[in-house]
Chains A and B, each alone.
Chain A
Amino acid sequence: MIKNLDRLVKEKLLSIAKKLRIPNASTLNKSELISKIKKEEVKQSKQKSAPKSKSKLKTKSKSPATRKQTSRIEPPLAIRVRLKTRSVEAQQGFVHPYSESAMHVEGEPSHEIRYEHDLPSSYGVTKIVLMVRDPYWCYTYWDFSAPTRSQITRWYRELTGPKAVLRIYDVTNRNFDGTNANSFFDLDINFDAGNWYLEVGKPDRSFLVEIGIRDQYGRFYVIARSNVVRTPRDTPSDVIDEEWMSREFELLYAASGGFKIGISSGELMDRIKKGVLFREWLSSGAFSSRASAK
């Protein structure tokens, strides 16, 4: 049983409701939702189908960016209206694939778009865009045209075991043709989230992402492919410019804040005199990273 339901944002509640298969959840207000969820949980636990959903709902956010979300207030009216339109779509057969693992794989959904009020929820163009956040994380958002949406609906009807997937390709030093990536991995998502944070985990590499549907046999139906991005380096470059190389490099690099960021030149001089600094360099080797910790 989930505690403190009333402290969750409505989007979270909605996603819980969907997992519990509560009909027309998006037309309910927050308190109605909470009571429905509580009832449904009791019902399902009696049917012994609850353990699965319990484990799903441990929504410990890995992304620091999304951690604060639980304190959010309810979305304003316009958002509720928008969610209603979505549920109409659902009734027409647009099934939202909520993957069991979606909430605790590498990425996290950026919580639903909020505060948009009268901004359009879709521009009616099928596309997916990839952006870099830091050496380890990217962000992607997508949009579907009406024909794409119908195609997706058809796929959902026709394919066996369809899942909504983001496929992230490492295309470093490749002119990607769909087959020649260095590696790739899939993230199960829900299309409705509209955007997702991706932990690519590798600085100084190139990535692109495809959004699509993967069936039970592993066949991947691509809906859209993104631009290529490069994550920034998180360590000194391996490339050394002979013309500009000198033994002073490490010293000036350290004084600049490399190796140990924030050390003052006074401290630095002290340590050099004591012979400490060079030992530290030799032993640690690692650059103190400014990127968000993994």
Chain B
Amino acid sequence: MFCSANGCHPALFPAELQQSEPMKKGYLLLLLHAHLPFVRHPEHPYFLEEIWLYEAITETYIPLVESFDRLVDEGVDFRVTMTISPPLASMLADELLQNRYLAHLDKLIELSGKEIERNQNHNEFRELSQKYHEDFKRARFVFENKYHRNLVTAFKKFQDLGKLDIITCGATHGFLPLMETVPQSIRAQIRVAKEHYESMFDRSPRGIWLPECGYAPGVDKILSENGIQYFFLETHGVLHGSPRPKFGVYAPVYCPSGVAAFSRDMESSKQVWSAEEGYPGASEYREYYRDIGFDCDFDYIKPYIHPDGIRIGTGLKYFRITGSTNHKEPYHPDWARGKAAEHAGNFMFNREKQIEFLSGHMDRKPLVVAPYDAELFGHWWYEGPQFLEFLLKKIFYDSPTLQTMTAWEYLKEYPSNQVMTPSFSSWGHKGYSEVWLEGSNDWIYRHLHEASNRMHALAKKFHGSDDGLVCRALNQAARELLLAESSDWAFIMKTGTMVPYAHQRTRDHINRFTRIYEDVNNFRVDEVWLRDLEAKDNIFPKIDFRVYA
């Protein structure tokens, strides 16, 4: 640090002078957080909210799998960190939902086939219909033939190849800082997630994405008890940590429990996320809100929307963003592809500049952590998966400075890091708990907390029980509590769309839990009712209620 010692201006000394190593100067950790709440309704032949999963499979998960496959085939070395939340993994591995997805996809293939005919006199639209038709057929091949309907095995394959670092999440994505007074719930969220991960990926999870990036001091201790070695933290979590961080967000820190925390870089997030300046708003990109589900003649589109005739998006969209007015021009996939390549180049350039700047001021290689919701790529930003593929390729082939990296590898290279207690933080609006604790959703906590305390009491009381029916009932009670704790319900209540569904789910799970609580305490478990419930809320088949003891 000679420049500092002389009191000189750090920037007067270019980074190259201080970096004698010819190796890469720094690392990029790309993180995709894939999560959807557990939505599975065998009791209904059609259920609107299940479409969240189907859309994400078609638009995000399959395109990502295809990209990863192409990169591997081409010999591109890359690293991506990815959460597959336990509810998402459960749904992807669930036979009922797999079959329903295939039926859904078959309808899209049928619809896009009809579209080719309908658009036969409109060249631009006909080509798009053909593209969708091919895309859907290829998606079917990837889903059915290549990965035998279970995309968890696809992601696992890339992890086993060393390209993907799959991390876990809270068992049902419960927001941990609001469970401070019910620590048994935090423990269960982590423990159940870890065991579920092991059943899916044949090894223990090394890292975790804390739901909503929500950290409160003490959470790390529970991670440590479960053998989890690193997690991710919002920017101010480390900046407001104590003692002050030496390297800002550009190197991990250790919590007092010994678990490492990697912090989000705001600059790289903003480039992708920001509604105004972010990439996804470019005029060449596909317009999300114009969909034939809304635009087409009702009788024509009826078989492909909600059975009650409610218009919904189908995924067939013909327009590009064009501009800020309602006037939209036809979508040109090749223009959009060019733009995605340009944006990938721009993203890499900015990271290189950033790394060059930072590496001149650190005794180790800086690490830029860029986490995103996975569903941003493909579902919201249709060209997102292309952008990622271009980016990973460009970094591999072209960048003299930059290399993609996982948290695990970084810790192996730099095992010695500063120890500090990070500050309570989340990546929600305003950075703390307000999204999940405000006028629309604060009423849920008295119920969630009471159920958690009751579960704790039940687990202690029946810890040694060998009554098969009672144990089954208690395991189901644990599932109901976990499902009620999903942060998605509070989030939906706050954002204001699909609110009745979020209310219904909170109420249903709490009520089911309460009934079991009363039945078990009164020795009158209804086996028929319980069996039906086990078939419905079938997440975590191997759960043991004693996790709440």
Contacts and interface: CB of A to CB of B under 8 A. Distances in A.
Interface of A: 64-66, 68-69, 110-111, 113-120, 123, 125, 129-135, 137, 139, 141, 143, 194-195, 227, 229-230, 232-241, 244-249, 251-258, 261-266, 268-269, 272-273, 275, 290-292
Given A134-B434, A256-B266, 20 more contacts: A110-B439, A116-B443, A129-B445, A131-B181, A132-B424, A134-B433, A194-B446, A229-B180, A230-B424, A236-B240, A237-B243, A237-B244, A239-B242, A240-B243, A241-B244, A247-B4, A252-B245, A257-B249, A258-B239, A292-B430
A236 to B, nearest CB: 6
Contact of A252 (B241, B250, B425): B250
Contacts of B177: 132
B503 A115 contact: yes
A239 B354 CA distance: 28
Contacts of B23: none
B425 A139 contact: no
A77 to B, nearest CB: 14
- Which secondary structure dominates where chain A touches chain B? loop
B361 A65 contact: no
Given A134-B433, A232-B424, A68 B439 contact: yes
Contacts of B440: 68
Nearest to B510: A119
Interface of B: 1, 4, 9-11, 177-178, 180-181, 217, 235-236, 238-250, 263, 265-267, 270, 350, 353-354, 357-358, 361-362, 418-420, 423-425, 430-434, 437-440, 442-443, 445-447, 449-450, 503, 507, 510-511, 514
B315 to A, nearest CB: 32
B419 to A, nearest CB: 8
A38 to B, nearest CB: 27
A65 B443 CA distance: 13
Given A65-B438, A291-B430, A292-B434, A253 B244 contact: yes
Contact of B447 (A119, A240, A241): A119
A115 B443 contact: yes
Nearest to A248: B361
B449 A251 contact: no
A29 B462 CA distance: 47
21 contacts: A66-B438, A114-B443, A115-B443, A116-B507, A118-B507, A118-B511, A132-B177, A133-B432, A134-B432, A137-B434, A141-B442, A247-B1, A248-B1, A249-B246, A251-B10, A253-B245, A254-B248, A256-B235, A256-B249, A273-B11, A290-B430
B430 A134 contact: yes
Contact of B239 (A116, A120, A256): A256
Given A131-B178, A232-B424, A256-B265, A241 B246 contact: yes
The 5 nearest A-B residue pairs measured at CB: A256-B248, A237-B242, A65-B438, A241-B243, A134-B432
A257 B270 CA distance: 12
B424 A255 contact: no
A287 to B, nearest CB: 8
Contacts of A233: 240, 242, 423
A268 B362 contact: no
A265 B240 contact: no
Given A119-B507, A119-B511, A236-B239, A264 B431 contact: no
B371 to A, nearest CB: 14
A227 B453 CA distance: 14
Contacts of B10: 248, 251, 272
Contacts of A230: 217, 424
Contacts of A262: 266-267, 270
Nearest to A195: B442
A257 B437 contact: no
Contact of A131 (B418, B439, B445): B445
Contacts of A119: 447, 507, 510-511
Contacts of B418: 241, 244
A274 B235 CA distance: 26
A134 B362 CA distance: 32
A255 B250 contact: yes
A232 B240 contact: yes
A248 B11 CA distance: 11
Contacts of B431: 134, 290-291
A275 B69 CA distance: 48
A265 B268 CA distance: 10
A65 B256 CA distance: 34
Contact of A255 (B270, B357, B442): B357
